[in-house]
Amino acid sequence: QVQLVESGGGSVQAGGSLRLSCAASGYIDSGYFMGWFRQAPGKEREGVAGIDTGDGRTYYADSVTGRFTISQDNARNTLYLQMNSLKVEDTAMYYCAADPVSKYSMSWFRVPDYNHWGQGTQVTVSS
């Protein structure tokens, strides 16, 4: 059973930075694809960034490209999301997700394609 636990959320002013962490436990091998998603009130959950834990391929939503960086620490089974130059519109609940099926540029952001989800961590950016 895969379990994902996010941490690192909080409140920050626009222009600030936060680093989210996702601790993964259970059976996750190098074939897993992992991603960060977010959901703002009244909006659908959307993909923010994804990474193939085997070959390190990364993907980003256009809205965060150049500001956010997804990375992994395989030794600690931890996924990170470094968020810089935060904007008010980045305010949302952020979720970590994992799936054993590899994904690519046209599929990494599809919410239904992920089998495992964390409970989320809130990020609030104020002006």
For the segment 60-117, what is each residue's pLDDT rounded down to a tens digit?
999 999 999 999 987 778 999 999 999 999 999 999 999 988 898 889 999 999 999 9
User: Is 28's pLDDT higher than 80?
Assistant: no
Cα-Cα-Cα-Cα torsion 14, 81, 57, 118, nearest 10 degrees, comes to: -130
CB atoms within 10 A of CB 119: 11
Mean pLDDT of 7-29: 93
- More confidently predicted of 105 and 39: 39
Strands 92-99 and 68-73, bridge-based pairing: unpaired
**If you average pLDDT over residues 12-39, what whole number do you get?**
92
User: In the predicted model, what is the mean pLDDT of residues 36-41?
Assistant: 97
C-alpha to C-alpha distance for 73 and 83, rounded to whole angstroms: 17
